[in-house]
Amino acid sequence: MTNTVIHMTHLVDRDLINRLFSRFANKYGKLWTTRLGEGGDWAGCADDWLEELSKFSLEQVRAAVNKALAIYRDFPPTQGQLIDLCLAESGVPDVNQLINLMVQRVFNHPLVKMVYDKIGSWALTNGKETEIQSKAKAAYSECVAEFTIDPQTCWQKLTDYNAKP
């Protein structure tokens, strides 16, 4: 009887990115393989994707990739599109969900409170729907960037806020 060791990764690592790139190459062909142009820096591209996707769990990335393959049937997703799917898989509300939560004053995710603080309660109460959407979209990207850089601090601020009477 021999013992066989099977390496199973539970992290987003270089091997996962290489498999992802290979899968995209198989599915999308030249639309993927020519994306960087002739002589493109695929190693640098893989480094960038690894850095961005390693912020998420393996399960979140896998689910996002599966959704991307279903949504983007005719062309490969951009890194930003895949990150947006990973954010959704990790529980980050999209702009429309966020607006609904802000209007209801349900602060169950740091982004809801962060965007709410930027927009202000007056605008939410008195603004027109198009104005609220415009302001929320403008603040959303900045708040998502802040959240992804330091989620622990953002969650702590929300916990502290919700703990106040």
Calpha distance 24→32 (Å, rounded): 6
Local structure of residue 91 (DSSP, 8 states): T
128-153, pLDDT tens digit by residue? Answer: 999 999 999 999 999 999 998 899 99
Nearest CA to 82 out of 157, 156, 12, 30 is that of 12
The answer to whether 109 and 158 are in contact (CB under 8 A) is yes
Calpha distance 44→27 (Å, rounded): 22
Whole-prediction pTM value?
A: 0.78
Residue 10 has pLDDT above 50, yes or no: yes
The answer to whether 114 and 143 are in contact (CB under 8 A) is yes
17-40, pLDDT tens digit by residue? Answer: 999 999 999 999 999 999 988 888
118 CA to centre of own chain: 21
